[in-house]
A and B are shown apart, each in its own frame.
Chain A
Amino acid sequence: MLAVLAGVIALLAVLNWLPSLSQKDYARRFQNMDEAKKAAGLATALIPAYFPEGISWPPSFIVAQRRPYQALVAEYSDAASERTSLVVIQASSSEVSKQLQRIRFRDISQRTEYLLKGRSAILSVGTCEDTVCSELNWREGDAYYCVLYKSSPFELIKVAESMIR
């Protein structure tokens, strides 16, 4: 039975690997933003110029894909706890954020419109993973942006504003 088990697992692993030979557009992990941006086929990728104190650079986790929709996700860790603290998502569809968010709101206490350098954005504040969380969502041309920070909205707004030059 162990041989059967090993055979099934090996077969699934091979089946999972085979498509990557012919198509590299599917979600993958990347080591740097340039490669990820290129793989996602994005003309522009908004990257924060400001980071709150304690957030380490470069991103601890980068994932990008071209199919089924373009997406680029960068996670930044807190230097002390080494846990993801700031997430920046750029996608070509507004209906996919749930699939791209590793950190999610447990509950939202406040949701309001916010003018982000002349752009209409939605600011949400609540809790996630037992801590205060805030999130900004806005649209820039064909791209949808989402920035989530495990803290109050003041630092989050600074991060989001630093992305728009």
Chain B
Amino acid sequence: MAINMHMATFLNTYWGMYVAQSVVHSVVAATIAEGAIFAWKIRAPHVKQWFRFAVIFLSLVSYPAYQLVSPDRGNIYFRISSLMDTNRWFLIERWGILPFLALFAVVLVISAVVFMIQELAPILSSIFVQMRRSDQTTDGAAAPELKSRVSEAIKGLPIDEGIVEIFDDDDMLLYSSTGLKPMIHVSTGLIKAFNPGHLQVAIAHEIAHIQRSRRPMLIFAYLLRVLLFFNPVAAIEFRRLAHEEEKVCDDIAVELTGRPAVLSEAIEMLRPGPEDYRDAEGRTGAERLVSTIEYYGHDALLKSRAARIALDRQKDRLWGVAVTVAAVLMIGINYFVV
């Protein structure tokens, strides 16, 4: 069939090989990263982040780098002697189609659509919401008792009171905006629900986000992930990297306040309640499914964070060696995967 020929021809172009090898290389790299984390019993979230970052970075640059070093890497002779040749799977023909290549194409399209809907659109909408919220700030008009609770909470934290902004919302919301003028935004609902101890550890967590934004690994990883919008493994690894970021900030919050149990309690209080799930049930079809998955995913993350803080946090030694060895193995093995 003509379409099979076109697909097979595309697969042998530079961009065809780039897409195929980027995804397959990310699968191999992610497997090695998971294996290394397991084998070396890596626990520290900031170390796990480096493994995830290596997977995303290498998935983006491996193919062009290999081609630069060895331009003949895509030819038939290299493929015959390679460790794994993806074309062997992609060019299997059954029922008049190339089923594995078709399935691969479907996965890429779904990944790209999910990226647009779940990652790009929320970021754009959150920028819009933040702009609107900045107009609705009630900081000046906030009840004095709410302001005094915040003042009490930030005592002893490395922060000016001026960067905490209170906004009027009954939901328990807390987030920080970084950049030239970092701010911590806290809702009236959260101030009312939290006691001063909870409020202190929560604000300390946001201070950690601001401190870490000076070394923005997450932003850099996101830019790489945007370029790999078609790659489902890069999407998963980026999400896990972002989850690890929350855990890193939890650790910093504990260092700043010395109150792990209180932070654990505060996180437990932020877990979605039954009313949140009922909100998802009010929706229909795919929207309901997506909302339910999001609630469960969010809840699972909060639950694991709360449980982790309650445990003894371990510091990994010689983690630089572990990450370097894993990256070298990723580079070495993927060279022979075409």
Verify that A and B bind, or say they do not.
yes
Query: A63-B80, A68-B8 in contact; A8/B75 too (CB < 8 A)?
Result: no
A112 on the interface (CB 8 Å rule)? no
**B32 and A8 contacting across the interface, CB-CB below 8 Å:** yes
Q: Which residue of A lies closest to B80 (CB)?
A: A27
Smallest beta-carbon distance B30→chain A, Å: 11
B149 on the interface (CB 8 Å rule)? no
A49 on the interface (CB 8 Å rule)? no
> A121 vs B35: C-alpha distance in the bound complex, in angstroms?
55
Q: A1-22: which residues lie under 8 A (CB-CB) from chain B?
A: 1, 3-5, 7-9, 12-13, 15-16, 19-20, 22
**A4 and B11 contacting across the interface, CB-CB below 8 Å:** no
A101 on the interface (CB 8 Å rule)? yes
**B8 and A99 contacting across the interface, CB-CB below 8 Å:** no
Query: A101-B75, A102-B77 in contact; A15/B84 too (CB < 8 A)?
Result: yes
**A1 and B88 contacting across the interface, CB-CB below 8 Å:** no
> A102 vs B74: C-alpha distance in the bound complex, in angstroms?
11
Interface residues on B, range: 20 to 34
A163 on the interface (CB 8 Å rule)? no
**A96 and B337 contacting across the interface, CB-CB below 8 Å:** no
Q: B28-54: which residues lie under 8 A (CB-CB) from chain A?
A: 28, 31-32, 35-36, 38-40
B324 on the interface (CB 8 Å rule)? no
**B75 and A98 contacting across the interface, CB-CB below 8 Å:** yes
Q: Which residues of A contact B (CB under 8 A)?
A: 1, 3-5, 7-9, 12-13, 15-16, 19-20, 22-23, 25-29, 63, 65, 67-69, 71, 73, 95-96, 98-102, 104
Q: Sample 23 A-B pairs with CB under 8 A, ordered by A number.
A: A1-B39, A5-B333, A8-B32, A8-B35, A15-B84, A15-B89, A19-B88, A23-B91, A26-B85, A26-B87, A26-B88, A26-B91, A28-B80, A29-B80, A63-B76, A63-B77, A63-B80, A67-B93, A68-B8, A73-B76, A101-B75, A102-B72, A102-B75
Would you list the 5 A-B pairs with minimal beta carbon distance, nearest first?
A4-B35, A68-B8, A19-B88, A12-B84, A1-B39
